[in-house]
């Protein structure tokens, strides 16, 4: 922050003011207030950095300056410092097709990942070292073969089209898929991850999904394999073409070679696609996650089925129970009815018996009343009519009335009284129009 400008002059030192080393501390700063500063803005970031690393202002300034300087140096610092293979140095420039361009430039650990900038820098470095003039100056021969190799490698790698063609057939960048045995030892993700990383360089679609780990979700795994089964590759095989004779003499020969090249390319491309497909098949077959997901899916389905079955069982049990309950109720009802019926029969019989007894009493009463005949033995006709009448009464009245009648007659020995009772009964029946007037002649007084 800019310094504070104070335009008022400082006071003149008073006469006689003196102090050791010209500084005299007098007071203390007053107590501070603790407040929250807002974690916002570049100056806060600097504050946080100082506080977290316990730096003072000047330390922080120095360290920050160093950090900034280093960044520049890093860029200059060559990351291309591979030892040169003596065999490589003896290569002939005319065999350029067979040479490893990245190795020539000392970029073999970067390969398809090398940036244009890196290639340029590597080229410069190599040129500085291997320029024919330098060799000549060092007293060597006029051998410029390796220099030509460098130039060729640079030419190819700096041309995007040619570089792609070379990258397509750069076998040194390939990672061989692990064998089944190796994979089964574990390490599936590490081993196959590298394979897919290297294959991913041919994808037209970037970024390519990663193989992931055993914790990847089902969607991620499915996306991964879908991607690889629908892989869109830019890989071409022009680099391996046979040289087309460029003399104009034999046109047919030229066309023949061209056609051959075309066919070879197509064939290689098909082979490559098949190779990749097999590779993905292998990986898929070895992938534990697929098994895991299948098991989970299976368990899930089974779970549903088991649940369904349990539900059905429960329902069936419930139905059976309900049926049982119903049957039990039915049986109970029937038993009750039966008991009731038996009871009714008994009662009826008892009533019948009672009625019989009552009838006997009634008839007895008639006999006691001397068949309603004044005195002396009653004539047969009188007996007959009296009994008939009493029977008529008995048939006309029901059990209860019979019982009351019997109650009235019980113990009665006097003929008159008995007759009176019968007459009353007849009257009542006539009144109830159950009997006709004069039907019971013997009783009609």
Partner 1 sequence: MSAGNDPAQRVAIGISFGNSYSSIAFTSGEGKAEVIANEDGDRQIPSILSYVEGEELHGGQAKGQLIRNSKNTVAYFRDFLGQEFKNIDPTPCHQSAHPIQNKSSIAFQIRDTEAEDQNTVSVSEITTRHLKRLRNSASDYLGKTVNAAVVTVPTNFSNTQKSALNKAAKDAGIEVLQFINEPVAAVLAYDARPQAQLADKIVVVADLGGTRSDIAVIASRGGIYTILATVHDYEVSGIQLDQVLMDYFAKEFIKKHKSGGDPRENDRSLAKLKLESEAVKKSLSIGTTANFSVESLAGGIDFTATINRTRYELLASKHFAAFTRLVAHAVEKAQLDPLDVTEIILAGGNSNSPKIASTITNAFPGATVVLAPSTSPTAINPSELSVRGAAIQASLIQEFELEDIEQSTHPMVTVTPHLSHAVGVLCISGDETSGVFHPIVDAETPLPVRRTALITTPREGGNVLIKLAEGARHIKVTKPEPKPKKEKEEKDDDDDDDEDSDEDESEEGEELREKTWKVSNVLSEAALRGLKKGSKVEVQINISADLNANCIFREVGGKGGVRGLLSGSKVTQNGSA
Cβ nearer to partner 1, comparing 44 with 234: 44
For partner 1, which is the closer residue by CB, 21 or 413? 21
Q: Is there binding between residue 27 and partner 1 (CB under 8 A)?
A: yes
Minimal CA–CA distance to 403: which of 356, 349, 368, 438? 356
Q: Which of 4, 137, 138, 380 binds partner 1 (CB under 8 A)?
A: 4
Nearer to partner 1, 26 or 375 (CB): 26
The DSSP annotation for 192-238 comes to HHHHHHHHGGGBSSSSPPP---TT--HHHHHHHHHHHHT--B----G
Q: Phi and psi at residue 395, in whole multiples of 5°? A: -65, -30
The answer to whether 5 contacts partner 1 (rule: CB under 8 A) is yes
Nearer to partner 1, 213 or 226 (CB): 213
> What does the chain come to in residues?
445
**Per DSSP, what are the bridge partners of residue 233?**
203
DSSP at 7: -
Least separation in angstroms between CB 56 and partner 1: 7
Per-residue interface string for the shown chain with partner 1, residues 30-49, x marking contact by CB under 8 A? xxxxxxxxxxxxxxxx-xx-
CB of 60 to partner 1, least distance (A): 10
- Site map 184..213 versus partner 1, x via CB under 8 A: ----------------------------x-
Distance CA 105, CA 122 (A): 6
Give the number of residues in contact with partner 1, rule: CB under 8 A: 53
Hey, what are 148's tokens?
């030509």
The torsion angles phi and psi of 203, rounded to 5 degrees, stand at -75, 135
Q: How many CB atoms lie within 10 A of CB 393?
A: 23
Beta bridge partners of 203: 233
Q: Which of 144, 111, 106 is nearest to 125 (CA)?
A: 106
Looking at residue 233, the DSSP 8-state letter turns out to be B
* Rounded CA separation 207/213 (Å): 18
- String of contacts with partner 1 for each residue 330-369, x by CB under 8 A: ----------------------------------------
Scanning 2-10, 117-125, 165-173, 382-390 for contacts with partner 1 by CB under 8 A, the matching segment is 2-10
21 counts as binding partner 1 under rule CB under 8 A = yes
Which position among 82, 155, 220, 238 is part of the footprint of partner 1 (CB under 8 A)? 220
Token pair in block for residue 386: 């009296």
User: In the numeric block, which tokens belong to residue 404?
Assistant: 């009351």
Nearer to partner 1, 8 or 137 (CB): 8
Q: Which residue lies nearer to partner 1 by CB, 155 or 222? A: 222
Q: Which is nearer to partner 1, 5 or 68 (CB)?
A: 5
Q: Give the rounded distance of the alpha carbon of 380 from its chain centre.
A: 111
Three-class SS state of 41: coil
Query: Residue 399: how many CB atoms within 10 A of its CB?
Result: 13
374 binds partner 1 (CB under 8 A): no
Looking at beta carbons only, is 12 or 380 nearer to partner 1? 12
Q: Does 14 bind partner 1 (CB under 8 A)?
A: yes
Least distance (Å) between residue 216 CB and partner 1: 8
Residues forming the site for partner 1 (CB under 8 A): 1-14, 17-45, 47-48, 50-52, 56-57, 212, 216, 220
């Amino acid at each position: 922050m800019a310094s504070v400008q104070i335009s008022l002059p400082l006071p003149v030192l008073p006469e006689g003011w003196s102090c050791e080393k010209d500084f005299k501390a007098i007071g203390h700063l007053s107590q501070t207030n603790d407040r929250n500063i807002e974690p916002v803005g570049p100056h806060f970031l600097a504050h946080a950095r100082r506080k977290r690393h316990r730096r003072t202002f000047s330390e922080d300034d120095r360290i920050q300056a160093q950090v900034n300087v280093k960044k520049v140096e890093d860029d200059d610092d060559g990351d291309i410092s591979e030892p040169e293979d003596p065999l490589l140095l003896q290569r002939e420039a005319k065999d350029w097709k067979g040479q490893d361009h990245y190795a020539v430039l000392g970029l073999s650990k970067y390969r398809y990942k090398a940036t244009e900038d890196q290639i340029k820098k590597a080229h410069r470095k190599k040129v500085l070292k291997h320029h024919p003039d330098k060799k000549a100056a060092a007293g060597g021969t006029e051998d410029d073969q390796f220099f030509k190799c460098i130039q060729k490698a640079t030419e190819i790698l700096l041309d995007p089209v040619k570089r792609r063609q070379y990258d397509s057939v750069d076998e040194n960048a390939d990672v061989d898929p692990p064998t089944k045995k190796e994979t089964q030892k574990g390490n599936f993700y590490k081993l196959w991850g590298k394979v897919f990383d290297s294959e991913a360089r041919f994808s037209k679609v970037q970024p390519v999904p990663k193989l992931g780990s055993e914790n990847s979700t089902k969607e991620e795994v499915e996306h991964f394999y879908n991607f690889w089964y629908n892989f869109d590759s830019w890989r071409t095989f022009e680099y391996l073409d046979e040289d087309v004779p460029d003399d104009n003499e034999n046109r047919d020969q030229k066309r023949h070679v061209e056609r051959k090249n075309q066919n070879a390319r197509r064939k290689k491309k098909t082979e490559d696609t098949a190779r990749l497909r097999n590779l993905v098949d292998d990986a898929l077959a070895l992938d534990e996650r697929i098994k895991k997901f299948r098991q989970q899916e299976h368990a899930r389905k089974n779970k549903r089925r088991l649940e369904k079955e349990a539900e059905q069982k429960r329902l069936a049990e419930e139905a059976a129970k309900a049926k049982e309950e119903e049957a039990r109720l039915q049986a109970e009802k029937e038993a009750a009815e039966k008991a009731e019926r038996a009871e009714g029969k008994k009662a009826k019989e008892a009533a019948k018996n009672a009625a019989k007894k009552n009838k006997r009493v009634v008839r007895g009463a008639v006999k006691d009343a001397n068949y309603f005949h004044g005195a002396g033995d009653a004539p047969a006709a009188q007996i007959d009519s009296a009994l008939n009448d009493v029977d008529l009464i008995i048939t006309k009245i029901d059990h209860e009335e019979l019982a009351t009648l019997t109650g009235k007659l019980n113990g009665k020995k006097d003929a008159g009284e008995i007759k009176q009772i019968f007459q009353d009964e007849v009257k009542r029946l006539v009144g109830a129009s159950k009997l006709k007037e004069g039907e019971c002649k013997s009783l009609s007084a």
